[in-house]
Amino acid sequence: MPRTNFEQLLEAGVHFGHLKRKWNPKMAPYIFMEKNGIHIIDLHKTIVKIDEAASVLKQITKSGRKVLFVATKKQAKDIVAENVAKIGMPYVTERWPGGMLTNFPTIRKAVKKMGQIDRMNTDGTFNNLSKRERLQITRQRAKLEKNLGSIADLSRLPAAIFVVDIQKEANAVREANRLNIPVVAMVDTCCDPSLVDFVIPANDDATKSITYIIEVMCNAIQEGLEEHKLEKDKEDRDSAKSDSEEAREKNTKLRSRKPKTEKPATAKKEKAAKEADAQAEAKAETEAKAETKAKAKTDAKADAKAKAETEAKAEAEVKAEE
């Protein structure tokens, strides 16, 4: 389903192009007709291109990456700052800092400088400076905030940039092309669409036109951010679930291992008991044998004594008879 319709674009004045004498021939495929010396943009093609650009920006933000909005012209800067700040995307509405993309590490240093100044305010270092130094640092902080405050959260190069007027933002487009960063832009009839990856043929001078298209892009980005959040929450739940399952499996394994760890100890006890029984039996047997032997010896002595007594008695009787 298209994000826009013909009537809304017509009401916003998106179809108005530049004067015929200022046109760029490369924009011919997007021009519907000429009226009173002004080119009229084909809104049917604009609808298709808006949907294409919105889906690209949605996919980028859904993957967790950033889109940088660039609009330094007077008509667009307030509109972009107001709408883009709501969705938490970086934007440039003051002068484009030269080398912001191609020399990004240096720009990051300037952004970190703001953080250092803020820390000086909080830890009390600022109060130890002289009045002149405090004034210089305050002015420096204000200048950095004005030019770079809106990109303070941009910790790495953006995945794409959205430009309102590619003629005015020629440096930004050139840097993005050099780094192969996709460029999504509102392109009027006086501009060169070959410099842009995703062209939105539209009036880039009227406030209504800029507001309408920026709102459509911001809504698409908001959808992407919400889907990214849902996916992240789902991943967190899945990871927590898998962690709990792993912990459960681990506990089960530990429980199943307990009898195995006790078994060797039981076996040792049983073995020791058997050995003790065997030793006791051997001892008892030895004692029984010793008793039997002693008894036999005692019996033999008694028999020998009785025999001797019998023989002595017999001899005494023989002597008495004689």
pLDDT of residue 2: 66
| Residues 111 and 92 sit within 8 Å (Cβ to Cβ) | no
User: In angstroms, rounded to a whole number, what is the distance separating the alpha carbons of residues 70 and 281?
Assistant: 100
Amino acid at 147: N
pLDDT of residue 311: 77
pLDDT of residue 259: 52
Q: Are strands 31-35 and 38-41 parallel, antiparallel or unpaired?
A: antiparallel
1-15, 74-88, 182-196: which range is least confident on average?
Answer: 1-15
Greater confidence (252 vs 109) lies with 109
Structure tokens at 139: 């002015």
pLDDT of residue 262: 45
Cα angle, residue 222 at apex, residues 220 and 227 outer, rounded to 5° = 100
15-24, 133-142, 173-182, 290-299: which range is least confident on average?
Answer: 290-299
CATH 3.40.50.10490 fits 6-238, yes or no: yes
pLDDT of residue 257: 66
* Site of tokens 């002004």: 38
User: In angstroms, rounded to a whole number, what is the distance separating the alpha carbons of residues 313 and 291?
Assistant: 33
Greater confidence (245 vs 27) lies with 27
pLDDT band at 58 (very low <50, low <70, confident <90, very high): very high
Say yes or no to pLDDT of 191 above 80. yes
Per residue in 75-102, pLDDT (tens digit) is 898 999 999 999 999 999 988 888 899 9
Is the dihedral angle over the CA atoms 71, 76, 78, 82 positive or is it negative? negative
pLDDT of residue 92: 92
Say yes or no to pLDDT of 265 above 70. no
* Mean of pLDDT values over 171-180: 94
pLDDT of residue 322: 62
User: In angstroms, rounded to a whole number, what is the distance separating the alpha carbons of residues 143 and 135?
Assistant: 12
pLDDT of residue 157: 92
pLDDT band at 181 (very low <50, low <70, confident <90, very high): very high
pLDDT of residue 121: 82
Say yes or no to pLDDT of 258 above 70. no
Per residue in 120-170, pLDDT (tens digit) is 888 878 788 888 988 998 898 888 888 888 888 888 899 999 999 999 999
Q: Which of 121, 38, 80 shows the shortest CA–CA distance to 213?
A: 80
Q: Could you write out the three-class secondary structure of the chain?
A: CCCCCHHHHHHHCCCEEEEHHHCCHHHHHHEEEEECCEEEECHHHHHHHHHHHHHHHHHHHHCCCCEEEECCCHHHHHHHHHHHHHHCCCEECCCCCCCCCCCHHHHHHHHHHHHHHHHHHHHCHHHHCCHHHHHHHHHHHHHHHHHHHHHCCCCCCCCEEEECCCCCCHHHHHHHHHCCCCEEEEECCCCCHHHCCEEEECCCCCHHHHHHHHHHHHHHHHHHHHHHHHHHHHHHHHHHHHHHHHHHHHHHHHHHHHHHHHHHHHHHHHHHHHHHHHHHHHHHHHHHHHHHHHHHHHHHHHHHHHHHHHHHHHHHHHHHHC
Say yes or no to pLDDT of 5 above 60. yes
